Structure 1
Amino acid sequence: MTRRGLHEDRGEPETIEMNSKEQMTALVLHGVGDLRLEKVDIPQPGPGQVQIAVKKVGICMSDVHYYKHGRIGDFVVDCPMTMGHESSGVVAAVGEGVDHLQVGDRVAIEPGIPCRRCAKCKGGRYNLCSKMKFCATPPVHGSMSTYFVHDADFCFKLPSHVSLEEAALLEPLAVAVHAVQRGRVTAGDKVIVSGAGPIGLVSLLVAKANGASAVVVTDIDDRRLAKAKELGAWGVANVMGLDAQAAAKAANAAFGEDFDCSEGQAQAVIECSGTEIGARTAIHAADSGGTVVLVGMGKPEFTLPILEAEIREVDIRGVFRYVNAYPVAVNLLAGGQLNVKPLITHRFHINDAVKAFDTVGGGQDVIKVLIDCEL
């Protein structure tokens, strides 16, 4: 069966070849270090759903953690699970009741499906829904497969000039959108981003797009900091070996003499490293009355300078995934307010997916690895 779609880069019609054998290729995790390419049944869309011919999938560090450790906290891989949650593709079939998408539409997939009925969902914070089903989080299968079925209202149609590669980065971009919103970043703010990994770098981009006058990025690797400068960081600071107070001082010093830092610190600090020293530094680095946003996830418990936060009224805010952030992220890409293309450093075909996963942890020059799922 043949369907008509849209060309990835130019928005022109493309042909989608439907798999007539009723099976597809999927990357399935069976246990620690045990990734397998397997043939599985092609899923069919039910009411309110769409079937997507998956094109591009990014590898997230959570994917790698499941691969190397078999679990993240209470989420344990105890049965085979298809990987992947940073995905884009082309609608291949439409279920009953779907009227805002049609076959051939290019879409980004928001990977979490909440219950839509609980108090958190109705209150607009569906990311905190206790019944959330999130792709590639046990026991929910992910989208690193030839085809994938998803609820249509969590699939977002792409403008013709936004590529499927860029769309695969909408998931980490949505995290950054939510983090910057939680940090209350506004025009003229000075912002510090702790950690120059993928989430830190997209947080840099979103903070600038949100009007931050200057963003300083800290890390312990000069290559990552060079990438931050390339992406528009006002300044960078290598905080290797520094204690929290010294690291905070180095971060604020990176704003230089062009800004009045007599009050000392940034209005918002977005902590993406997930380390205890990063969280401690963030509290010291934030301006009095400022905001610390904890994005990176590390140990279950940290020792933090709470009195420092208390007497200077530093707000400490958590981030868990994102909520209502995909439309904002799509518009940022569509309007050209930011460019995520430089974050893509490595590309692999799904047939080389195991090599791709090994590459993610293989060096500091790796930022974002994409998998091409088209056979």
Structure 2
Amino acid sequence: MTVTTDAKGGNQAFVLHPGGSFAFEECSIPTLQSGRDIIVRVAATGLCGSDIHYWQHGAIGRYVVEKPIILGHESSGIVVECGDGVKGFAVGDRVALEPGSTCNTCKHCRSGRYNLCKDVRFAATPPYDGTLATYYRVPQECCYKLPSHVSLRDATLIEPLSVAVHSSSLAGKMQEKSVAVFGAGPVGLLCTAVARAFGASKVAVVDVVPSRLAFALEHGATNAYQMSSESPEKNAADLLSTAGVENGFDIVLDATGAEPCVNCGIHALTQGGTFVQVGLGKPNLSIPVGQICDKEISFKGSFRYGPGDFELAIGLLNSRRVNLDGLITHEYSFPEAEDAFKNVAGRSGIKSVIYGPDFNAEVAKSV
């Protein structure tokens, strides 16, 4: 496939306007702003729950859609231009994009926790535009070459896989540990795959959708449990029984942010266990603090990903310890972008991707 930055092709973008309406618009083609910048032609973008939330609600916490914004941040593409200071990349390279660039100078960046940088410029987080466009500019450190057997389509999952790597790493050593993962959506399923790759002996997945639980069992889960409307204590007891875990799970990863799941997970933990909050729901939850103290568990928040997480995610794919087959269930051309948003909002399938403007879908799917 021939890829060009010819301005005659333009930079078509899918733009969300305040109030929830979408429009296809021609935007300026991004240019190199420093010697370490790279311009990428976007091949495919996976839709995230945050994209849907900005569309339907206009805000996530303090981040408000006050002016038109381009959404999308789970993307792959092909390098079309490199700054004169870029090393290790060349035009034509297939890459995954890390969607947040940081200041690299604050105490968090300097101490190796750049995901906590207050000056991060994160794609599709107001006021910064995302990747649902023809071209996107990133600094060199936010580009990652793809293994030869990973397609540009599947590479859209590297960003959420990095979320799973980060949260799983926060949980500590998983070798021969029992792990419960709440939520069998994309991030929960990827947490399941990472937990198995990290050596967990048992990974039980919890959800309310039977089809997603069935998928989890085919992709790494050792057990599956369908949450009921019973109390968190009753669900926790039933979960432990189903999974054959006598004294509680060593680790719980919650990818839902739903209060019943968080409460159930805390009750299902063993004494001294570790709970990692991966997904976000309501900003304020009622949780059993007494259980947290009585068991002396470690309750940790997880935010995006940090140094080494993208490299490790790609390493797991390169070694085939994590398999992405089947996670992408819906594919859309760029003109069908709004249909993709509606599909995700309707909770159909697992992961939906949108191909970049005029990007050949067959090329994106090939390796």
Same fold (TM over 0.5): yes
The aligned runs of 1:142-157 (5 Å cut-off) are 142-157=130-145
Q: Deviations over 1:289-319 (max 9, x none)?
A: 1100011111121111112111211110000
Asked if the contact 2:46–2:156 (Cα under 8 Å) also holds between the matched residues in 1, the reply is: yes
CA distance in 2, matches of 1:24, 1:359: 25
Q: Which residue number corresponds to residue 76 of structure 2?
A: 88
The aligned runs of 1:189-268 (5 Å cut-off) are 189-256=177-244, 261-262=245-246, 264-268=247-251
Matched AA of 2:134: T
The aligned runs of 1:357-372 (5 Å cut-off) are 357-363=341-347, 365-372=348-355
Asked if the contact 2:109–2:117 (Cα under 8 Å) also holds between the matched residues in 1, the reply is: yes
CA distance in 2, matches of 1:374, 1:162: 21
2:102 to 80, 99, 114: 114
Q: Which residue number corresponds to residue 337 of structure 2?
A: 353
The Cα shift of 1:374 comes to 4.1
The aligned runs of 1:1-375 (5 Å cut-off) are 14-21=1-8, 23-47=10-34, 48-256=36-244, 261-262=245-246, 264-324=247-307, 325-363=309-347, 365-375=348-358
CA distance in 2, matches of 1:341, 1:148: 27
**Runs of 5+ consecutive residues of structure 1 not aligned to the other structure:** 1-13
Secondary structure (helix, strand or coil) at the match of 2:7 reads coil
Aligned-pair identity (%): 40
Q: Deviations over 1:216-260 (max 9, x none)?
A: 01111111111111212111111120211111112212223xxxx
Asked if the contact 1:26–1:146 (Cα under 8 Å) also holds between the matched residues in 2, the reply is: yes
CA distance in 2, matches of 1:149, 1:369: 23
The Cα shift of 1:22 comes to 6.2
Q: Which residue number corresponds to residue 7 of structure 1?
A: none
Matched AA of 1:145: A
Matched AA of 2:10: Q
The Cα shift of 1:27 comes to 0.7
The Cα shift of 1:35 comes to 1.2
**Runs of 5+ consecutive residues of structure 2 not aligned to the other structure:** 359-367
Matched AA of 2:253: I
Matched AA of 2:235: A
Relative to the length of structure 2, the TM-score reads: 0.95
Aligned residue pairs: how many? Answer: 356
The Cα shift of 1:32 comes to 3.1
Q: Deviations over 1:299-350 (max 9, x none)?
A: 1211111121112111100001111210000111111001112110000011
Matched AA of 1:42: I
Matched AA of 2:149: H
Asked if the contact 2:7–2:29 (Cα under 8 Å) also holds between the matched residues in 1, the reply is: no
